[in-house]
A and B are shown apart, each in its own frame.
Chain A
Amino acid sequence: MTELAWIDAALTSARPQAVAALLRYFRDLDIAEEAYQEACLRALRTWPEKGPPRDAVSWLIMVGRNAALDDVRRRAKSTPLPDDDIPDEETIEADMADRLDNANYRDDVLRLLFVCVHPELPATQQIALALRLVSGLTVKEIARAFLVSEAAMEQRITRAKARIAAADVPFETPGAVERSERLGAVAAMIYLLFNEGYAASGGEAHIRQSLCEEAIRLSRLLLRLFPSEPEIMGLTALCLLQHARTPARLDQQGGIVLLEEQDRTLWDRDMIAEGLALVDKAIRHRRTGAYQVQAALAALHAQAARPEDTDWRAIDGLYATLQTLQPSPVVTLNRAVAVSKVHGAEAALAMIEPLSEPLAGYFHYHGLRGGLLLQLGRAEEARRAFDRAIALARTPAEAAHIRQHLDRLQKDSAA
């Protein structure tokens, strides 16, 4: 690895804590970001010569803080600032005293992430903002991941920041209830980020994968700060267990390979092992939550060497739990897959019948329904369901998959 790559990794790794601490001092996102940027520039100038400091995070906070204060002083000479706008130096010195306190870091980083999940921002803006502020991706990189132009993404991020600036950023140390609410909101954003990388097969595959990897990195960061939160263990495990399948999810033409048809030897065993370890750790706390249940579901699939080894009965049970924790038509739809394995297609079809309205526009509903009808020999109804599914497919890969079923139906009826 080159020296530059080392420094780059060090700056990426230090970023969440450093920007978060600077945000606490200056209480202003733009100043905090600029201060960190300036600190990075100075790091790039001095580290190659003197070597990286032992505590890179503190170095960056200190240097960034001083640079921003110099800047403020310079500006103060021309236009006097209102007194309460910038904390005076004494406050900052006092703040620096607890700089080394890990508990502070913890709430700082959580606050920085929490700022991004402002409820008025649409989900994609929350993710974009987190990628920019916390992960330090360039606007260009984020734009490519979201398949929009750089200018459009720049505008989105600027707008999101303006919205946050207008809102009150909570700077007081959160109480236990607030902390757990913030954790929940931040976890949801990280999972959205993961899905943004995982769900779509459009766009450039390696960029999408890097979104998944970034979600895993943030999730581990959160878990290091809050080591005893079973839902954060669940979230990390869920991301790892799903991401482990990535090498087997698309065929060479970029078509979707269903779980049952994937080459399981391609699954990443290290990620699976880490995911299983985290599920184990989480279960010990006996505080069930939606991420843990979903991670346990992914774990059951990961542990089956062949599709026929899958413990569908256990999967059915876990989906039943998920239905009570997080009731949604999609969860019921997923449970129906397990039900079809355990109790047959008839039972599964009965289970999804009430979903026809809420999921009328959902590709997977019609795909599964077609598959179940096919198993029951109701070819004409199956064909209609598959037709509906194709019309709703969001990617060529989804459409191609349904097309296979239709072709098979055609062949069968011709024979």
Chain B
Amino acid sequence: MLYAILCYHDEGLVESWTKEEDAAVLAKRHVTVDKLRDQGKLGPVIRLMPTTAATSVRNGREQLVLDGPFAETKEQLLGLYIVDCDSLDEVLETVRTMGQGESGTFEVRPLKLMWPDSRPTERQTKSAS
């Protein structure tokens, strides 16, 4: 089954890491993530830009465009991994190893891909990459 591993953390705290500390966290996770990739179980890995870059549209009779993320919370959604695992136990095991020595929270949520083959074309991503 496909799962999303949603990474929640206090954004201000993550921004207080030095570049080296940030890189060390990712490098540590990569050991686990690489294993999944070797087994063909890794989907897209996404790091979200800071919530300060977010814009929200609240629907209703009048649509409201708001600056910032949808809700003010102590911890923010900062990124996610998509993985294909056989069981919840397998994902949880992965997540436990991945997060060793870290703070923050990983939420594991099963998902379904609605348009599995869709990807932005070169033209659309040019300015951002």
Contacts and interface: CB of A to CB of B under 8 A. Distances in A.
Interface of A: 1, 3, 5-6, 9-10, 12-14, 52, 54-56, 102, 213, 217, 220-221, 223-224, 227-228, 233, 236, 269, 273-274, 276-278, 281, 284, 303
Q: Secondary structure at chain A's binding surface: helix, strand, loop or mixed?
A: helix
Contact of B13 (A10, A213, A224, A274): A10
Given A1-B25, A10-B16, 13 more contacts: A6-B102, A6-B103, A9-B14, A9-B21, A13-B10, A13-B13, A52-B103, A55-B74, A56-B10, A220-B15, A233-B67, A276-B128, A281-B67
Given A220-B50, A276-B127, A5 B21 contact: yes
B72 A303 contact: no
A313 to B, nearest CB: 19
Interface string B13-25: 1111101010011
B49 A221 contact: no
Most chain A CB within 10 A, of B16, B24, B128, is at B16
A233 B12 CA distance: 17
Contact of B49 (A213, A228, A277): A277
Contacts of B13: 9-10, 13-14, 56
B52 interface: yes
B101 interface: yes
Contacts, number: 77
Contacts of B28: 1
**Across chains A and B, which 9 residue pairs bring their CB atoms closest together, nearest first?**
A227-B68, A13-B16, A13-B13, A12-B16, A227-B67, A223-B52, A9-B16, A13-B12, A277-B53
A281 B25 contact: no
Interface residues of B, number: 31
A269 B15 contact: no
Contacts of A284: 55, 65
Contacts of A228: 66-68
Contacts of A303: 127
A223 B69 CA distance: 12
Most chain A CB within 10 A, of B11, B53, B65, B101, is at B53
Contacts of A54: 74
Nearest to A275: B53
B67 A13 contact: no
A274 B52 CA distance: 9
